[in-house]
């Protein structure tokens, strides 16, 4: 299962989440034919964070858990207000002594941030996405691609393409390393 999670203010992250999900569905169709690979787009506004912590079966032929997080930057490097709770809860899980440090070891992830490079000197360029990237890693999730940063001051497609290419390369290795037979 691949979850494409997004947090957006103006719709940019949502648009890219839908596009990337479409690309992933096409990639899955090419690689697996009619195999049951679920690619879903979910808004972080309503996403139950506990769903990330649910472990699926990892036996050959069973579900692998993949989460792609596409997150816009709001004022002062913060996430969009309606999905800030997602970032806060991830941080809370890191600092909660009751949560195992490897709580997300079953999860494979990649993060893509959206913002403006104009705010890089102030330290606010895709800060929310960078924080989520660190939080997932601290909970032992397995990275599929380096953190991607997309600035609204440059052509988005050219910035997303290398991230998506790295992601697909990792997914290729991941899915075929656990394929039955």
Q: What is the pTM of this model?
A: 0.90
Q: What is the pLDDT at residue 28?
A: 86
3-state SS, residue 85: helix
Q: How do beta strands 2-7 and 39-43 pair?
A: parallel
For residue range 29-38, what is the model confidence (pLDDT) as tens digits? 888 766 667 8
Rounded Cα distance, 28 and 34, in Å: 9
For residue range 50-91, what is the model confidence (pLDDT) as tens digits? 999 987 654 444 568 999 999 999 888 889 999 999 999 999
Q: How many domains does the chain have?
A: 1
3-state SS, residue 144: coil
In this structure, what CATH number is given to the domain that contains residue 87?
Answer: 3.40.50.360
Rounded Cα distance, 34 and 84, in Å: 37
- Domain around 122: 2-177
pLDDT over 50 (residue 94): yes
Q: What is the pLDDT at residue 121?
A: 80
């Amino acid at each position: 299962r691949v979850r494409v999670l997004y947090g957006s203010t103006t719709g940019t992250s949502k648009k890219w989440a839908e596009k990337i999900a479409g690309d992933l569905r096409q990639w899955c169709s090419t690689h697996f034919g009619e195999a049951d690979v679920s690619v879903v787009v979910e808004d972080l506004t309503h996403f139950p964070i506990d769903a990330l912590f649910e472990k699926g079966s990892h036996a050959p032929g069973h579900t692998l858990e993949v989460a792609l997080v596409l997150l816009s930057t709001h004022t002062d490097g913060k996430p969009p207000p309606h999905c800030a709770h997602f970032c806060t809860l991830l941080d809370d899980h890191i600092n909660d002594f009751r949560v195992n440090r490897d709580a997300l070891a079953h999860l494979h992830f990649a993060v893509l941030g959206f913002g403006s490079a104009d705010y890089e000197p102030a330290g606010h360029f895709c800060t929310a996405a960078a924080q989520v990237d660190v939080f997932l890693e601290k909970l032992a999730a397995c990275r599929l691609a380096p953190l991607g940063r997309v600035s609204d001051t440059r052509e988005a497609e050219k910035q997303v393409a290398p991230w998506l290419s790295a992601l697909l390369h990792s997914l290729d290795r991941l899915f075929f390393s656990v394929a039955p037979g």
